[in-house]
Structure 1
């Protein structure tokens, strides 16, 4: 083995050791609150994906499937983005009872539950995505209580 080959092998080994350490360092830099927020968001997304997969192509509400609802943005009457639909909430009988919304630009992330009444599905955005238009304002959403987020 030449010294150049030996050096190349050692550099690759060092790189493989550095990448996990960098990831660990980034995690260590996050505060406990940030780690909890990430865990909550991951749990909400996982629950939403499981529910959407189970619902399939069945219309859930507002003429949309659960997957389409999850892809929608909540917008005001003038088109200002207010938040993202994170989860479709259902009653004990399986009917859609509301939507879990992550409020736009909230830090830390805030989630509120809104009813379906007063929502209209519209095509919007640059890509023709579906938006859910509401009469609520950003201030209305901010004044709502935090939604209960189920564990695990």
Structure 2
């Protein structure tokens, strides 16, 4: 066997391990978000929406451009949503940021309930990466 083959395979193995870790974190976040939404039930947690509705929402710029998808909801001690974990649209690898609920408005597009923001994709890009634990 060529002595360089292991050196060529090493980066692929590292990338594979990173992707597996990222997938595990994403799966954990999704599972926790679904459990929290079930526990919240039909009670509105922000903007007149339930946690489930927030999790199903996209974040849109004022011109309708999709900025990202809501992945998780942070709530205060009273069960009110305070901020959203967003997966930034078209990020590769996936990038996550948080944004406060304040300043978002409910937008209905057909059967979809989404959230509109005054932010642009540049504004989202300038936000720090969310800490995914």
Q: Which category of TM-score, normalised to the shorter sequence, fits these structures?
A: 0.7 to 0.9
Q: Are 1:34 and 1:108, in contact at CA under 8 Å, matched by a contact in 2?
A: no
Higher strand share: 2
For 2:57 and 2:79, how far apart are their aligned partners in 1? 21
Structure 2 residue 121 is the aligned partner of structure 1 residue 138: yes
Partner residue, 2:96: 111
Q: RMSD of the TM alignment (CA)?
A: 1.6
**TM-score under structure 1 length normalisation:** 0.75
Partner residue, 1:51: 36
Count of matched residue positions in the alignment of Structure 1 and Structure 2: 121
For 1:57 and 1:93, how far apart are their aligned partners in 2? 15
For 2:68 and 2:37, how far apart are their aligned partners in 1? 19
For 2:14 and 2:119, how far apart are their aligned partners in 1? 37
**TM-score under structure 2 length normalisation:** 0.85
Task: Choose 1 or 2 for highest CA Rg.
Answer: 1
State which drifts further: 75-84 or 94-103: 94-103
Q: Which runs of 5+ in 2 are unaligned?
A: 1-12
> What pairs with 1:1-152 in structure 2 (closer than 5 Å)?
31-124=16-109, 127-150=110-133
Higher helix share: 1
Q: Which runs of 5+ in 1 are unaligned?
A: 1-27
For 2:78 and 2:51, how far apart are their aligned partners in 1? 16
Deviations 1:101-141 (A, max 9, x none): 000011111111100111001102xx520110000011111
For 1:32 and 1:137, how far apart are their aligned partners in 2? 33
Give 3-state SS (helix, strand or coil) of 1:31's partner.
helix
